[in-house]
């Protein structure tokens, strides 16, 4: 398993947008992204760096592997 990279919230949002997610709304520092087919909703905190556990959770919710996520960076 590849080590998780350190990424910001904005970088994570860009990767998810490449996968077909669209920014639905933002409240404070939390960006909500949705995808229609298959339906999925992910909340990304807009922080300078995402903690490892949060990034791992986002990757799992997006149904990706760490290697696929790194390739999309």
Please give the pLDDT value at position 10. Answer: 96
Q: What is the pLDDT of residues 17-66, one digit of tens each?
A: 999 999 999 999 999 999 998 899 999 999 999 999 999 999 999 999 99
What residue ranges define each of the domains in the chain, with the CATH number in brackets? 9-72 (3.30.920.30)
Please give the pLDDT value at position 3. Answer: 87
Please give the pLDDT value at position 45. Answer: 96
Please give the pLDDT value at position 1. Answer: 59
Say how many C-beta atoms besides its own lie within 10 A of residue 1's C-beta.
Answer: 6
pTM: 0.91
Token readout for 9 is 């919230």
């Amino acid at each position: 398993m590849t080590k998780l990279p350190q990424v910001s919230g904005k970088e994570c949002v860009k990767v998810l947008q490449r996968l077909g997610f669209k920014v639905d709304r933002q409240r404070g520092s939390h960006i909500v992204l949705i995808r229609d087919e298959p339906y999925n909703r992910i909340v990304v905190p807009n922080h300078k760096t995402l903690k490892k556990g949060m990034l791992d959770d986002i990757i799992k919710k997006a149904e990706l592997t760490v290697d696929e996520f790194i390739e999309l960076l």
